[in-house]
A and B are shown apart, each in its own frame.
Chain A
Amino acid sequence: MVQILDVMDKALNGKPMSESDYQLKLFAPKVQEKVREHKIKYDPNNPIPSDNSMADELFEAGMELLLDVGAYCTSSGRVISYTEAEIKNALKEAPSKLHFGEGRDRKSLVKRNIEDKTPPWCLLGAGGGACSSDKSFLTLVEGYAEIPETNAITTPAITRVGGMRVRPASPLEVLAAMRNAVLAREACNRVGRQGIPIMNSLATAESDIALAAAVHPKFGMRQSDGYMICCMDPMKVDFARLNKVAVALSLGGSIGMCFGPLLGGYAGGPEGTAVSNVAHHMMGILTYQSSWLLPFTIHLRHVASSPRDMLWVISSMGQAISRNTHLLSLNLNYTTAGPCTPMCLYETSASVTAAVVSGLSIESLGVATNKHEDRTTPVEPRISAEVGHAVAGMKRSDANELVKKLLGKYESKLNSPPSGCPSSLKHRRFAKPCKPLHWFSQQ
């Protein structure tokens, strides 16, 4: 089994290569080679395909890609290579079930299959969206914790401490990360969900030092939380990220590698992006020692997961992983439209449907491309979760027709989506649903 010391050994002794050569002369052409060899083909008429053989080809293509290109360590300037035996063993040893949370909020994240009736694991909240004040952070997280389907919280990120804007890898970031931990737990306590896990620990800790400081138990973080570490696209890691891995492992925490190969980025179009996503799953359990995975692939132009080709990528990648592995994978979705707009709800419904019927669980969500500070509400994650539960067990062919209808409602508006409303207290509680939620329920 590949362990953190093996990863470091490979990072220090792997093949030397410049970052540019790795990305442009190794990774990018190899992805296209795999697409050609395995005849992977995007079909815009079927954003949720029902082709099992293509899902299996996609899985093979992803595994071959990882074998051919490995991962790249930007700190050492070397390629971290893996053998086929190491990859297969990591897939075999990866957990098919994990427990998160405590007390009555302790739940199991389980492997899902295509068209599985098991409801998806619902990791709900802001997906690290920017939040300017302690008060709004608390109120938002309270709202997320109150959603009945919430299995775990994905918190916002705090942008200010003591009136000062956070600076990366500075005491301001360390203090903000500590505050993130304390406030998240406090918010859950306030609404009686003391045991609910925080699974994007910690959104505010971009640097390794901030994470290491803020996971101290006195700030409220627990072994039963989820420790999210973001991979650099494509297939890259550095010592700072490996430091985070070492810290999370020392706590006995479950690491989730999040990764977002851009559609239109180094992997090219939808076919290459799907192959890259599959390869990232396997790279994550090896390099980042992940026991669960968090793909959040987004569209280069629209910075969202709702365009037609993105739905195909999510579904194809999900089917490839769920048919061929028992990995625990949650898809994070972004919308172009802002909160409390019908378009935002259509977009998230389509992305969630594509993920859930394809065997994935969900993290929801980043609204309005997660770009704006204080522009998120609990309404959208709640709808996402309800949709996720509703479509569990749906046939892919039916889901395909459903998302095509949803696409018909928003696809033409992706270039000029509504920005929605800024966060305000009235949108944070469900006793007074905002107008779009009521409107949506009438459809």
Chain B
Amino acid sequence: MGEDKILKGLHDAIMNYDSEAAVSASKAAIAAKVDPLMAIQKGLVPAIEEIGDKFEKMEIYLPELMLAAEAMKASLALLLPLIPKGSKGTKATVIIGTVQGDVHEIGKNIVSSMLMAGGFNVIDLGVDVKTINFIEEARKADAKIIGASALMSSTIGSQKDIVDYLVSSGDRKKHAVLVGGGPTTKEWAKEIGADACGMTAVEAVKLATKFAKGR
């Protein structure tokens, strides 16, 4: 199979929200000895960027965005390990989750998918994530960024706990803390000592890019 056809296969798998096709196309790329970095940058990334644009314009909706992100993740799981260390595969690792006591996930899922679309390695811890779990997972993955989502005015206090814990444990400089969700504002982020607040998913990706190399 020619290189162009393989890259098109990767592109189409994402555009069709098809994880199985993404895995097949990735295996075909590996078998044909296509440079994995090129497979990502010329096959997957343009497709997932297109998906992100369509979602922003509401030409597609949340299920399509999430399925495309899942397909991207399935493909990256095969291609990323083949890229030599030091090459530019993904931008940075982001630990993301909805804070302790809060089970709302839609906003977090959108940001998670958009970050993936933006080339980040996203570790999504789900909802009702304990403060200590955010921090332990960030340590384990050497993540530069912790993204903490909260939807309720009664739960955003848990975002402060993440920042406070990092300060108390002397690890504040190691991880940028980005907050977001219904009641969070830039003023709130400043008040609790978070690095920034993403008011939209697009802004969240811009902020993650800003902090990709650390604080």
A residues neighboring B (CB under 8 Å): 23-24, 28-29, 74, 128-130, 157, 159, 165-170, 172-173, 176, 204, 206-207, 232-233, 238, 240, 262, 264-269, 300-301, 303, 369-373
**B165 CB-CB contact with A under 8 Å:** no
Residues of B within 8 A of A (CB): 58, 61-63, 66-67, 99-104, 106, 152-158, 160-161, 182-183, 185
A373 touches B62 (CB 8 A): no
Residue pair A167, B101 in contact (C-beta under 8 Å):
yes
Residues of B within 8 A of A176 (CB): 154
Q: Are B63 and A168 in contact (CB under 8 A)?
A: no
Q: A28-B63, A232-B104, A264-B58 are in contact. Are A371 and B158 (CB under 8 A)?
A: no
Residues of A within 8 A of B183 (CB): 130, 370-373
A206→B62 contact, CB < 8 A: no
Contacts of B185 in A (CB 8 A): 371-372
Inter-chain contact A238/B153, CB cutoff 8 Å? no
Which residue of B100, B104, B157 has the most chain A CB atoms within 10 A of its CB atom? B157
- List B contacts of A371 (CB < 8 A): 182-183, 185
Q: Which residues of B contact A24 (CB under 8 A)?
A: 63, 66-67
Interchain CA distance A129-B62 in the complex, whole Å: 26
Per CB-CB distance, the 6 closest pairs between chain A and chain B, nearest first, are A168-B101, A130-B153, A28-B63, A165-B157, A268-B61, A168-B155
Q: Which of A159, A301, A370 contacts B58 (CB 8 A)?
A: A301
List 7 extra interface pairs beyond A169-B100, A207-B101, A262-B62, CB under 8 A: A24-B63, A28-B63, A130-B183, A165-B160, A268-B61, A303-B182, A373-B183
B152 closest partner in A (C-beta): A206
In the bound complex, do residue A300 and residue B182 qualify as a contact, i.e. CB atoms below 8 Å apart?
A: no
A416 to B207 Cα, complex, angstroms? 21
- Interfacial chain B residues near A172, Cβ < 8 Å: 157
Interface centre among B67, B103, B104 (most CB of A within 10 A): B103
Residue A169 contacts which of B62, B101, B106 (CB distance < 8 angstroms)?
A: B101
* A353, B54: Cα distance in complex, Å: 32
Taking CB atoms, residues of chain A closer than 8 Å to B61 are 264-269, 300
Taking CB atoms, residues of chain A closer than 8 Å to B103 are 74, 232, 238, 240
A264 touches B62 (CB 8 A): yes
Q: Which residues of A contact B63 (CB under 8 A)?
A: 23-24, 28-29, 266, 268
Q: Which residue on A lies nearest to B104, using beta carbons?
A: A232
Tell which of A23, A157, A369 touches B153, judged by Cβ atoms closer than 8 Å: A157
Contact A167 B158 (CB under 8 A): yes
Closest residue on chain A to residue B56 by CB atoms: A301
Contacts of B161 in A (CB 8 A): 167
Q: Are A370 and B106 in contact (CB under 8 A)?
A: no
**Residue contact A159 to B153, C-beta cutoff 8 Å:** yes
- Docked complex Cα distance between A266 and B67 (Å): 11
| CB-nearest residue of chain B to A372 | B185
Q: Among A24, A128, A301, find the residue whose CB has the most chain B CB atoms closer than 10 A.
A: A24
- Per the bound structure, the CA–CA distance linking A74 and B154 in Å amounts to 21
Please measure, in the bound complex, the distance between the C-alpha atom of A159 and the C-alpha atom of B192, giving whole angstroms: 14
With CB as the reference atom, state the residue of chain B lying closest to A132: B153
